Every structure is written in structure tokens, then in C-alpha cells.
Amino acid sequence: RFSGPRFLVRTAHVILTWVITLILFLHDTDLRKQEETGELLVPVLFVLLVLVSVLLYFAVSLMDPGFVLSDDCDLQVSSAESFTLGLTEEQQDMIPQTKTLRLRRCGHCLLQQPMRSKHCQTCQHCVRRYDHHCPWIENCVGERNHRWFVLYLAVQLVVLLWGLHMAWSGFTHAPTWQLWLKTNSVLLATATVVAVLSLTVLLLLGSHLYLVSLNTTTWEFMSRHRISYLKHCGADENPFDRGTLRNLWGFFCVWGTVVWEQVYFRQETNI
């Protein structure tokens, strides 16, 4: 997990984070002014928050997102499994033809896939409640690390907006635009990078909170028309939706593996 592209991506993230932090302290920003006057509360809190964001980044990127490592023996499975040649993974049926539950078998790792799971070609594993594979953390976002991913985005957004405010406080006045750009070039480049990252993280956080409030995933939202257990439902019907408050409570406060087959059929979905 530390080799190849993953190591390079994570190293780049850490280097970029601390280089930006160092630039904010080296220039004439409020952070540096408060440090020089002995007012260390804000600088220390800022550094601690940056450290927390880095630790959350590594926690999310190194955490098991919910890999399916063996067949689920807790569910009753019919003898005729739905591993069908010629069908894509999403098209293989997960809907029971009788009262006996039917799981599909992954054509890549040959394990039975619980409902809402998907095989990730990059990680080479099926992931429970698969959301997406994030290239920035070089890991899947799934059942076990999705809430931590959202928490990481929230902390990262606070750090970026705080850093953008500090960068703005460090700009110095100059009589001409040419002299101003020359004087503030490094800080301006830093503020531009932070602004772009802030907008990206804001959009990501907003979209994930919206999907969480509906109890759906990025994969299900984007590929609904191809996923066998959803294409049978109506356009506005989500068999996993239990209301916004219950969805948010279940996502952030309920720990452990959820048997989504039970939730699906408890809603008495019209197949």
C-alpha cells in the first residue's frame, strides 16, 4: 500500500500541505505577525488543524474501505448464483426470482457480492457499499471509510478557507500592478492553489452530504440505469431511503456492517 503511484500521490499531498503552511508563516501574514508578537494561540491551532487533516488523509487512504474478502455465510443464497457470462458486473441480477435471496458472484475475484458492493479494478477487490475510487487518496471510498472521508473533507475545507484568509492578509500594497505582482507573486500563486482546492473540496463535500442524506452512493447515482437492483425501481424511488434524518444518523452514528438486502426488501419494493 506504500509502493508505486500510491506512495507518490500521498507524498505529494503531504509535501504540498506543508509547503503551503510554511509559505503562510514565512510571508507577512497574520500568522507570522501573531507569532512574532508572542500571540501563539491562533498559529498553534492552525498547525494542529493542518496536522489533523494530514492524519485524517492517511487514515482514509490506508483504511480498509470494506473489502469483501470471503463469501458471506450469514445470508441464504440460492443454489443458482448469478455469475453469467456476457453480462457486465452491474447488469448481473441481484433480484430474487423466488423467496430465496440471490447474490451475484464477482467475475473478477469470484466472491459473492453483497448488495451495493462493486469490484474496483484499481484495488482488485469488491467493496461493500461502494461509492467511488478516489485518485487523490488512492483508495476506494466504501462502507468502512466513507464517514471518515466526509469528515476529512470537512476538516480540509476549514483548513483551506483559513489558509486562504491568511494568504489574503499577507498581500502588501504597491504603487503599480507590476510591482505588486512582483512583491506578492509567491503568495498570489499559493492563494490561487488554495482557492482552487477550496472550491473542489467544497463541491465534493456538498455532493457527498447530499447523497448521504438520500442514502445513495456516487456509483448508484451515476449508474442507476445499469444497476440491476435499482433499474427495477421508479425514477424517484430509492429502496434504501429512510428519510433525511435517519439517513444521516445511520451514516454518521451507526457502526458495523449493514445487510442491505434486508433493508431493500423491508421497503417492499415493487420489483
Q: Does 253 participate in catalysis according to the annotation?
A: no
Alpha-carbon span 66 to 115, nearest angstrom: 13
**Residue found by looking up cell 500594497 in the block:** 173
Distant-in-sequence, close-in-space partners of 259: CB < 8 Å, separation ≥ 6: 74, 75, 114
Q: What is the DSSP letter of 175?
A: S
The helix (H) or strand (E) run that includes residue 209 is helix 177-214
> Own/partner pairs for 210-213, CB < 8 Å, 24+ apart?
212/146, 212/150, 212/247, 212/248, 212/251, 213/244, 213/247, 213/248
Q: Which amino acid is at 110?
A: L
Q: Which of 73, 134, 140, 253 is catalytic?
A: 134
Residues designated as active site: 134
